[in-house]
Amino acid sequence: MNNLKVPEKVIIHSDGASRGNPGKAAIGVIIQDESGNILRIVSRFIGVTTNNQAEYKALIAGLEEAAALGASEVVIFVDSELVVMQIKGRYRVKKPQLVPLYLRAGELLAGFKSYTIEHVPRSLNGPADRLANLALDKH
């Protein structure tokens, strides 16, 4: 039997990138435990989307992975102020193409005992940004 303990709290760094707006897009996600151990990495091309759609899709991928790990609490760092402020309810979701992504993120967040989401400068979200750009470069 596997003796690995499922972490209760995980830290998610997510980033979406689009070359063109809309343009070819990809996501990058790193999930860590509180000690900084990497639990999951996502680096995936997602087709043609806007930058904001890519940011949401990265967040959703991170939340899906955290749920799959069995985490009950998530701390999320995103370099998209728009996504963070919409999730926090401080900005309205005006673009129709973002509504289903916003709703999906909300569904996933509701599945956790607690969550925090914070905006960070791109310089503090470098590994997730590099993963997104790596997926774009490979495509």
DSSP label of 6: P
Task: Tally the residues of the chain.
Answer: 139
Q: Which CATH number fits domain 9-138: 3.30.565.10, 3.30.420.10, 3.20.20.370, 3.40.50.300?
A: 3.30.420.10
The token duo for 24 is 């070819």
89-127 residue pLDDT tens: 999 999 999 999 999 999 999 999 999 999 999 899 999
38-96 residue pLDDT tens: 999 999 999 999 999 999 999 999 999 999 999 999 999 999 999 999 999 999 999 99
* Contact of 88 with 52, CB cutoff 8 Å: no
* Contact of 1 with 14, CB cutoff 8 Å: no
Using 50, 70 and 90 to split pLDDT, how confident is the model at 7?
A: confident
**Domain ranges, ordered by start, for the chain:** 9-138
At 112, phi and psi to the nearest 5?
Answer: -100, 150
Chain centre to alpha carbon of residue 122: 13
